[in-house]
Every structure is written in structure tokens, then in C-alpha cells.
Structure 1
Amino acid sequence: MEQIPRWNLDSIYSSLEGEDFEADMKALKTLTEQLKTHISGCQDLRDFNAWFKTTLDLMQTTWDTIDTLGAYAHALLTVDTSDEKAMHGLNKVDEIALDVKAVYVKVLNAFATHKESVRNLINNDESLKRYAFVIEELLEEQRHQMSEAEEALAADLNRSGTDSWSRLQQAVSSSSETIWDEETQERKTVIQLRSMAFDPDRNVREKAFNKELSIWKLHETAFAYALNGVKGTTITLDKKRGYKDPLERSVKQARITDTVLEALIGSIESYLPMFRRYLKAKAKLMGLPKLAFFDLFAPVGLTHQKYSFDAAKEFIIENFSAFHLPLGEFAKMAFEKQWIDAESRVGKVGGAYCTSMPLRKETRVLCNFDHSFDSVSTIAHELGHAYHDKVTSELPALLRNYPMTLAETASIFSQFIIFQGALKHANTDERLSLIEGFLQDSTQVCVDILSRFYFEKDVFEKRVHGDIMADELSRMMVDAQKRSYGDALEETQLHPYMWAVKSHYYSSGLSYYNYPYAFGQLFGLGVYQLSQDYDDFGARYDQLLHTTGMYSAPEVTAKIGCDITTEEFWKKSLDLINTYVDEFCQLCDYKE
């Protein structure tokens, strides 16, 4: 039986108890104290230029250090949520992070005190001009800061408040299990049950779906209090910081504008009939009057080829290299150096992510490989994130800090490369299966994401008036799904507990972590279409990724000729999806 790889973290640190980890922990404390001392002298400056540059250097080195330490401890915890040493290590990093956050508040206050001098220096020093946008962003953030004492208290309370609620959701959802087979007493985790949504047998999918719902039902009270805790805290802090609501803060964090968000959401809403046409065609193909929620991921056509991990590796490297050689070479290196943890096991979190360790200029990818094409696509997606980090790895921390909207560009782009590569060699039945898989993903990233956006907006509006009980959260979730999926799904077989499933809801630092996926999907497809117009697209692509942390999203995208403030831009990507909906309906012999 093939051994699915686990990642190797030795080049990051030897262990949580290793001298190298402890040395960086000490270095972090020293850097924090140095920065604190340095900032305290900002009232009596004889050489402002030197002071400012030293501040930037200290701040960015501090960030890189804490990000590397935190990413390492978090990586260990996510492959074994019962690992007490990893939890302790992460807590130690979080404890120092409180001091870092407190100093960061002081840094922003110092910049605001000397904002005219800061702006003059940025405008006149060639080495600093590239910081112009991010410095203005920091000054804007400072205008939304509470007092230093309040910010310190909020950061401290987050550790035992919202952060703990988030970890509770992660721990329960990764470890909960139920009896699958009464005769054999075989048990399955909720992650395993959710992966069975891809099973070709509808009876298996329905059984897994109902078992999964029973688990969420069992823990619904805990999840409801966790969600209320996170959202309540977010509302309180955002109001105290002068934001109209959490969506205003989210838009600023995403480096977009209300106009961009409205254009994005509006374009998706106008194309909902297209997505519903695909879902109805799939129902016809499956011999069903309508799809249930547990049919969304059902394979159709020829059952997807089962990939060994080695086959997946070679397929990704080959297709990446054919499109952009540096991308293929990077993927090859990531596989060879064991940067990917692909084995699914008890205690490991579900889903997938990519994490960066900036001090080492390395990344790591977590996924749960199940030999399907979807798993291959997921690895490609996460390697896209990793390549993005590689392209920006030589930049200082402030200029590497790209928003969550643009963070999905390289990942979606990489996924589409793999999809196109698979289509080239597919026969008719395989093509049906592949196109349906692409439309599955597109429907999730546009339609389901839209339902999550509706739901979260509704939650914030209702949470202002008090706690929302579990049954009400489930009703709101179903209402949001009805609004997005419309008449394409059976209304009695929706998923009322998606609010418990998705960890994105349980972050006070990133509200509305849903629409950025739709942004990334449609922008990534738009960039792919542009690739056909330039012989030197690879270089242009790398330059695009290189600048994602330096400007607002409209400015970054405008540099390659995209106007994301209009629905017309987004509709071009939706039109690309529509070509595959048309082909799918033709292959299914479906007509409305």
C-alpha cells in the first residue's frame, strides 16, 4: 500500500524544545524590547530618517520571527489536535504576541504623531517610495485604534476569548466521531463522513450526511455559544474602533472598496440562473427531480481516475512546467523536500491550507489526500499559494502582506492549469466528469460562498440584539442556502449546520472570510484569460504576484488591465464558466 507523505519540518526547527526554537523565542523577546525602547524615544528625534528606517527594520524582523514561530507550532497542532506540547508551544508564542501587539500599537501612534515627516520621507527617499501605500494604510489603521491600554486588554482577552472559541470549534470538529456500522462497530470521524460526499453511491452519501448532521446536532449548543462569543466580541471591538460594522473593516482588510464588493456580489447574483441550470442538468443526469445537498459533490460520468500520490505529483509538475517553468520547478522542489503533509489521519484537521515560515523563506502545505482528482486539484491550489509566497519571499514583511482577496489569485490560477491539463487528454465521458468537477468547485466558490456571505451578514445584524440560539442559526443558514441555490436544490435536504462546519466563521480577526474566495476564483479566471494575449505572460504573472502586497487590490489588478470596480470584468470570468455549463448541459442532453 502506498505511503502518503507527511511533511518534514526539520529545516524550520528541530522541535518545540529544541535550542533553535528557544533561541528564536529569546530573539523575539529581545526584538520586542528593542522596538519598545526605540519607540519610546520618538518625542526627541535628532535624525528622523534613521529613526524611521530602524523602526521599519525592527518591526518587520519582529513580524517575521513571530510568524515563523507561530506557524511552526500551529503546523504541529493541526496534524494532531491532541498534541499538548504543540498547544503549549502555541500558547507561549501567543503570550509574546501580546507584547508585540502592544508595541505595534505604539509604533502606529508614533507614526501618526510624525505623519507629515513620515510622508515627506516616503515621498523623497527612493528606498522607501515602495512603502507609500502600506504606510498610508498603517496611518488609516491607527485612526481606528483604541487607546494603548484598551488595545492591550483586547489582545489579552482574545487569548482566552475568541481564540479559545476558535480552537474549540477546530478541536471538536476534527475529533468528533460516530458509529458507522452497527454490526462491526466501525467508527468514522466527521471529517471522514464529509469526505464521503464524493462517494458514487447515493445511499452512502445520504447515510454519511445524516450521520454528520447528528454529530453537529449533538454539539450544536457548544458551537452556538462559540459563534456568539466570536461575533459578539467582533461587533463590540469594531464599534469601539470606529467602524460602522464588521463589513466595513473586512472591506478595508481586503484592500477593496464598497464599489468593488458590490460589483462582485452583483455579478454573481445576476449569474445565479446559470449555476442553477448546471445543478438541474446534474439532477437530470442522475435521474433525480432535484439534487439534495449531499448530491452536490456526487461524481458523474466516468468515475474519476484514482491517482497515486506519485502520479498526482508528476501530473502537477508536468502541467505547471508546461505553463510556466518556474512554477513547475517550485512544485518539484516542494515535493522533493517534503513540504506537503497529505496523509489523512485521526486528530488531523480537515480541509487544506498553506502556511509560510518567513525566517526560513519556506512554506508548508497541509491537505487530506484521497486519490481523487479533487485531491490533486487541492494540492495544486495550495502549491499556488506557496508559489505566491516564494515570489514575494525576498520582500520585507510589510510588502509581503497581501490581502485575502489577492491571496486566492495564484491558488485558483494553479487549479485551473491542472483542470486544463486534464481536459487535453480526456475522452467524452472523462470530459463530462472533469467539467462537472470544475463546475462543482465554481458553484461552491460562487453560489455557496454567496450563501455564507448572506448568512454572516444576517448573523452580525441579529447578534447586535443578543445571543442567537442554535436552532435559529440553523434556520438562518437554510434561508441563506435557499436564497443562493434557489429551486435547484431540494428545500427539505439542505445543510442547516454549515455554520458549525466552517472554521472561517470563528475568527474575530477576519470577518467575512467568504467573498475573497469568489474574488480569487473570478479574478484568477480573468488572469488566465489574459494569459492567452501575451507571449511573456509568465514574467507578467510573477510581477503581478510580486506587487500584491504593495498596493490596493484595484491598483494591483489595474496594472494588468483589469477594472474590478465594474460588473463587466467579473462577468467575463462568469462567461467563461458559462461555456462549461453549456457544454455540460449538451453532454447531459439537458434543455430548460
Structure 2
Amino acid sequence: MNTEWSLDVLYKGYDDPAYQQDLVNLDTLINKLHTFAENVGKNSDKDTVLEYIALTEEFSLLVTKLYSYTELRESTDTTNSETTSYLNRIQSKISATSKDSAKIDKYVANLSNLDDIVASDESLKEYTFFFNELKDRASHTLSDDVEEVIAKLNLSAGSAWSSLQQYLTSTVEVDYNGEKTTLSGIRNLAYSKDKEVRKAAYEAEIACYDKIKDAVSFSLNNIKSQVNTIAELRGYESPLAMTLKQASMSRETLDAMLTAMREYMPKFHEYLKRKATILGYKNGLPWYELFAPLGENHVEYTTESAKEYLLKHFRNFADDLADMVEDAFDNSWIDFFPRKGKVGGAFCANLPFIKQSRVLTNFDGAFGDVVTLAHELGHAYHGLQIQGHRPLNLDYSMPVAETASTFNENVIMDAAIHEANGTDKLVLIENQLQDTTQIICDIYSRFLFESAVFERRKNEFLFSDDLEKIMLDAQKQAFGDSLEEDTLHPYMWINKGHYYSESLSFYNFPYAFGGLFARGLYTMYQQEGKDFVPKYRALLKATTVSSVEDVAKMAGIDTTKPDFWRQSLQSYANEIDEFLALTK
């Protein structure tokens, strides 16, 4: 089994003739797009729409292939100057189409007979949701010239600031025990069974941020300022309103979920306080003990044993999921281990146009790393369900993006807990509560932080000291008095790449949505058994062609009312009660 992924199915390198030819093909397509834009409206409305779809599909597939390959290369080696050069080159080419794309999109979206044209052609009916979204976006699209300027300036603005944050956090050297390590490596030590290691790693992590905090604060300030400006220009009430529109999700759904989360946070505080008591702390749990194991971790996983564990439990749920997981391990879909230059954390990149995905982790052998693999392979399973869609129906929105991944976590954790006894069972329950507390309390703190940064950035520049205070305030609101105040984490805004996308804001609440939505779906699976699986697949497939609310309705769920969210949270509250009873 290879421990680094292979991208050869896309290209064998930058000197691959196919890569170089596709760069030429991209120029050809850009010229075709320009010609189409100049002549749009000269043919019949239906012919215009059909040509628009054909050209947009071709352009989307080519750009996705080129960009995916280059960006995946960058994620495993942010220091490669050739990769950076090609990524900038592709971004520049794409930005050059913004004026033409805006002109064409607006023309098609404003056709008075567009709905009739779509309804009259079988090949267009599949794009009904796409065209509805296109019409909505058109109402927020600026003039062709302004769209072009925004796209071109972004290359040296938001996109560049994002690359800076990624570069700094992936290359900063952490001084630990007289040696140098990476930020990803030091953060993995938060799971160590040795209290002194956890504390020392936390202190080393905090200290390393002094080297990069000022530069990263400039990245965050300028990205958020840019998003504020664009949201205002496009006529949105706020960046959050723009994000919700992009996510095909209503504010009613977000408010209902946050209402339920706030109601249940005291229950999670009970769990954290009990953990603090078990570990011998009197004034709340120190931040560096959030992931402290409450028992001996008897099993250390290799990549092979992780594969066997996942296959064993996913096979019980669905054969197609287990088969896909086996493919991922055997056919070099996964890049496992941390190394200098590789980005931290974990992610999955769906490549439905080749019916595959790629998964990046920073594997360290703990059971939590197996759960992380399950999570990311859930994204890959989501990709498996949507790969039959047409090219412009392959993007699912942020909130539903975490559904399959978190569902996978439930499958693995539920199986592990049921197989365990005594202390082992307690440890697994606590592991699940660790993760759930992250998607409830920590995610809420991130939402509060980003909301405050967007609001304050309208009128002031936020230096590192300011950002640290905002983060600490958000953590206090989310965690209450359950954490030791002197050891909160003022720099959590530095290492989370989610804050640093100029095109995707508030990538925090989707984790809470995914966690609670998946929990509700998993409860249905427990009640319905195998009969639920086809419904689940259909629901995942619909995520790219339906609103969040309509996807939920397929399972009989109303996301705009707190009741569903309360039911999911109550299941976790019951687990906390079991934990409290076991540790009484």
C-alpha cells in the first residue's frame, strides 16, 4: 500500500504532454467563450441556451481537472515554486473569462422564456435547479467590467493572502524538546496519553505562532475586507447572507439549529467539567486536555490495520461503501503522513469526472486518525453518489457537504462502542463526546469569531492582539465556565484554513449542520435497517440539485424548526448522561 497518493490518473507531472496540451486547450476554450459572448443573442434563444450548456460543461471539466491536479500538488508541498507558478497561471486564465462569463450568464438568466426552454428539452431538464440558481445569482451580478476587475484583482488580493496563510502554517518550525517539528506534528500530540507531553506540545504550539501571527493577521484582515466589499457591491445584507445564498440554505434553518445548540450547550459543559474532575482539575478543563484520553489506548493503528477496521464495519452498512474504501487504500487515493510543506488537518477532494477522490490526512496511528479517515472517506462516498450527474450538477453546498462524512463517523463509533466493555467502552464514548463537543461548542465559537471579525473589519484593522481577544471572547461564550480560562487558545484563528477563503466564508456552521443532520439520519438507519440505505443514497445524490431544506424533506425532516435539531442533540445528551453515570 502506498502511503502517498498518486495523481497519475490526472497527469504524470507538469512535463506530461497531456498537461501542457490541456493548458493550450484551455486557451482555445477561453477564445471560444469570448466569441460566444460577443455573439450571444444572435441565434435563437433555445440554440443559445444549448450552446451555453455545452460550452460551460466543456470549460468546467477542463478547468476542474487542471486546477484539481495543481492544487492537490500544492497541498502536499507548499514550497514547490513550480506548482505555485502553474497555479497562478491557471487562476489568471480563469479570471480572464470573468467578464465574458458574467455577460453570458446574465443574458441567459434574463431570458423571459428560459423556464419554457428548459422544460421543452430533456437534456436541459436535468439542469432545472442549475438554471434557477443562475437566475438568482444574476440578480447579484455586477457589470461585466466590474466582474472582470474583481476576478483579476483577486489573484493578488484574497487568493494571494490565502496562499500566504497556507504557506506560513505549513512551513513554520515548532521548537519542541530541542528539536524542530511541524505545526501538524505538534498538534497531533494533543492526543498523547502523557499529560506532560500534551501540555508541552500546547505551549510549543502557542509559542510558534509568535513567528507568524502578524503576517497571518494581515491575511485574515484583507480577505475579510474583500468579502465585506463584494457582499455590499452585490447587494447582500452581509457576508453571512451571501454565504447562505451560496449554500442554498435559509436563515430560518441556521437560526433553528443555533437555537437548539445554545439550549444544549450546558449539557456539553457538564461533560467537560466531569472530564476536568477526572483528570484532577478544579477550575475547568485546560485547553490542552480537550483531547486527553481517559484510558490507555491499547491499539495503535497502521494504515493496513486501519483499512481492515474500516472495511469490517462499513461492509455491514453497505457493500458499495466498503468497496470504495478498499479502492481508496489499494489504489493510492490517500496521502497519510505529515511532512514539512504538507498542509495540516485533513480533507477530501472529490474528482467525480474520473469517478475517484483524493484524501489527505496527517495520520499518527491513534483511533482518532481512523475516525478521521472514515470522515474523509464519507466525502468520497458522497462523491460516488453524485458522479452520475451532468458536469454542472457536481457541486454540493457547504451544509450538506458534511453529511456523509459525519454519518460515516457515526457508523464507526457506534460499532466500536457496541463492541467494547468496561473502561474501553467509556474511553470510546468519551472519544465521541470529544468530537461532538468540537462541532457544537468549538464550531459555535468559530461562528461567533468570524461574525465579529466581519463586523469589526468594516471600520477597523484588527491586529493580532485584537484577533486574540475576539477569539478568547468567542471561546468563553461557547464553552462557558467549563474550560480553564488561563489556558484558552487565543490563536485558533491562525491554524484553521477555513477562515482564509475569499470565495467561501463561514465554513464552520456546516460542521454542526452535518453532525446533527447525520446524527438524525443515522437514528433513522438504526430504526429502518437496510431499507434506509437506498433512501440515503438518493438523498446524497440530490444534494447537488436541491436546496438544503428540500434534501431534508426527502427524509421527512423540517430543518427550519428547532425540533429536529433538538432530537439530534438529545441523543448526544443521553450519551453525556451515560458518561456521567459511568464516571460517577
Please state which band the TM-score falls in when normalised by the shorter chain: over 0.9
Residue 573 (1) aligns with residue 568 (2)? yes
Identify which of 375, 395, 399 aligns with 2:393: 399
Identify which of 144, 149, 170 aligns with 1:148: 144
Post-superposition Cα deviations, 1:292-343, rounded to whole Å, max 9, x if no partner, equal 1111011112325211110100111121111111111111111111100102
Partner residue in 1 for 2:256? 263
Identify which of 548, 554, 563 aligns with 1:559: 554
Tell me the amino acid that sits aligned with residue 73 of structure 1.
Answer: T
Q: 1:452 to 1:231 in 2, by over 3 A?
A: same
Q: How far apart, CA to CA, are the structure 1 residues paired with 2:53 and 2:581? A: 58
Residue 440 (1) aligns with residue 438 (2)? no
Identify which of 101, 104, 108 aligns with 2:105: 108
CA contact (8 A) 2:41 2:48 kept: no
Residue 319 (1) aligns with residue 317 (2)? no
Give the match's secondary structure for 2:127.
Answer: helix
Residue 130 (1) aligns with residue 126 (2)? yes
Residue 344 (1) aligns with residue 338 (2)? yes
CA contact (8 A) 1:409 1:520 kept: yes
* Shift, 1:139, TM fit: 1.1
Identify which of 33, 40, 43 aligns with 1:42: 40
CA contact (8 A) 2:6 2:332 kept: yes
Identify which of 12, 16, 19 aligns with 2:17: 19
* Shift, 1:511, TM fit: 1.0
Q: 1:436 to 1:157 in 2, by over 3 A?
A: same
Partner residue in 2 for 1:428? 422
**TM-score of the pair, normalised by structure 2:** 0.97
Q: How far apart, CA to CA, are the structure 2 residues paired with 1:374 and 1:102? A: 46
* Shift, 1:358, TM fit: 4.0
Partner residue in 1 for 2:240? 247
Identity of aligned residues (%): 36
CA contact (8 A) 1:60 1:398 kept: yes
CA contact (8 A) 1:68 1:356 kept: no
CA contact (8 A) 2:174 2:186 kept: no
Q: How far apart, CA to CA, are the structure 1 residues paired with 2:300 and 2:28? A: 51
Q: How far apart, CA to CA, are the structure 1 residues paired with 2:102 and 2:235? A: 16
Partner residue in 1 for 2:88? 91
Post-superposition Cα deviations, 1:396-439, rounded to whole Å, max 9, x if no partner, equal 12222110111110100111111122123212111111111111
Partner residue in 1 for 2:221? 228
* Shift, 1:552, TM fit: 0.5
Residue 77 (1) aligns with residue 56 (2)? no
Partner residue in 1 for 2:180? 187
Alignment of 1:236-315 (within 5 A): 236-289=229-282, 290-303=284-297, 305-315=299-309
Task: State the number of aligned residues.
Answer: 582
CA contact (8 A) 1:175 1:189 kept: yes
Q: 1:196 to 1:50 in 2, by over 3 A?
A: same
Q: How far apart, CA to CA, are the structure 2 residues paired with 1:126 and 1:11? A: 32
Q: How far apart, CA to CA, are the structure 2 residues paired with 1:573 and 1:213? A: 35
CA contact (8 A) 1:76 1:86 kept: yes
* Shift, 1:128, TM fit: 2.5
Partner residue in 2 for 1:518? 512
Tell me the amino acid that sits aligned with residue 174 of structure 1.
Answer: S
| RMSD of aligned alpha carbons | 1.4
Post-superposition Cα deviations, 1:225-265, rounded to whole Å, max 9, x if no partner, equal 11111011111111111111101001111111111010011
Residue 462 (1) aligns with residue 459 (2)? no
Partner residue in 2 for 1:377? 371
Tell me the amino acid that sits aligned with residue 65 of structure 1.
Answer: L
Q: How far apart, CA to CA, are the structure 2 residues paired with 1:439 and 1:399? A: 35
Q: How far apart, CA to CA, are the structure 2 residues paired with 1:83 and 1:514? A: 29
Tell me the amino acid that sits aligned with residue 220 of structure 1.
Answer: K
* Shift, 1:43, TM fit: 2.3
Q: How far apart, CA to CA, are the structure 2 residues paired with 1:533 and 1:50? A: 50
* Shift, 1:4, TM fit: 6.7
CA contact (8 A) 2:184 2:362 kept: no
Give the match's secondary structure for 1:160.
Answer: coil
Tell me the amino acid that sits aligned with residue 180 of structure 1.
Answer: Y
Post-superposition Cα deviations, 1:341-392, rounded to whole Å, max 9, x if no partner, equal 1022111111011113344232111101101111001111111101111111
CA contact (8 A) 2:371 2:412 kept: yes
Partner residue in 1 for 2:538? 543
Q: How far apart, CA to CA, are the structure 1 residues paired with 2:376 and 2:244? A: 24
Partner residue in 2 for 1:9? 7
Tell me the amino acid that sits aligned with residue 490 of structure 1.
Answer: E
Q: How far apart, CA to CA, are the structure 2 residues paired with 1:342 and 1:226? A: 28
CA contact (8 A) 1:445 1:518 kept: yes
Q: How far apart, CA to CA, are the structure 1 residues paired with 2:405 and 2:558? A: 21
Q: How far apart, CA to CA, are the structure 1 residues paired with 2:98 and 2:371? A: 37
Partner residue in 1 for 2:203? 210
Tell me the amino acid that sits aligned with residue 51 of structure 1.
Answer: T
Give the match's secondary structure for 1:214.
Answer: helix
Tell me the amino acid that sits aligned with residue 178 of structure 1.
Answer: V
Partner residue in 2 for 1:530? 524
* Shift, 1:129, TM fit: 2.7
* Shift, 1:533, TM fit: 3.5
Q: How far apart, CA to CA, are the structure 2 residues paired with 1:147 and 1:49? A: 24
Partner residue in 2 for 1:58? 55
* Shift, 1:35, TM fit: 2.7
CA contact (8 A) 1:134 1:551 kept: no
CA contact (8 A) 2:444 2:478 kept: yes
Tell me the amino acid that sits aligned with residue 58 of structure 1.
Answer: L
Tell me the amino acid that sits aligned with residue 94 of structure 2.
Answer: A
Q: How far apart, CA to CA, are the structure 2 residues paired with 1:255 and 1:445? A: 21
CA contact (8 A) 1:8 1:339 kept: yes
Tell me the amino acid that sits aligned with residue 202 of structure 1.
Answer: K
CA contact (8 A) 2:190 2:198 kept: yes
Post-superposition Cα deviations, 1:31-53, rounded to whole Å, max 9, x if no partner, equal 2222332233222223x223212
CA contact (8 A) 2:249 2:547 kept: yes
Post-superposition Cα deviations, 1:160-207, rounded to whole Å, max 9, x if no partner, equal 1111111111111111113222xxx31122221111111122221111
Give the match's secondary structure for 2:348.
Answer: strand
Tell me the amino acid that sits aligned with residue 419 of structure 2.
Answer: H
Identify which of 155, 158, 165 aligns with 1:162: 158
CA contact (8 A) 1:35 1:55 kept: no
CA contact (8 A) 2:184 2:338 kept: no
Partner residue in 2 for 1:413? 407
Q: Which sits farther off after the overlay, 231-240 or 198-207?
A: 198-207
Q: How far apart, CA to CA, are the structure 2 residues paired with 1:57 and 1:331? A: 33
Q: How far apart, CA to CA, are the structure 2 residues paired with 1:362 and 1:165? A: 30
5+ long unaligned stretches in structure 1: none
Q: How far apart, CA to CA, are the structure 2 residues paired with 1:169 and 1:460? A: 18
* Shift, 1:519, TM fit: 0.4
Tell me the amino acid that sits aligned with residue 164 of structure 2.
Answer: L
Give the match's secondary structure for 1:487.
Answer: coil
CA contact (8 A) 1:401 1:549 kept: yes
Give the match's secondary structure for 2:96.
Answer: helix
* Shift, 1:464, TM fit: 0.5
5+ long unaligned stretches in structure 2: none
CA contact (8 A) 2:352 2:384 kept: no
**TM-score of the pair, normalised by structure 1:** 0.96
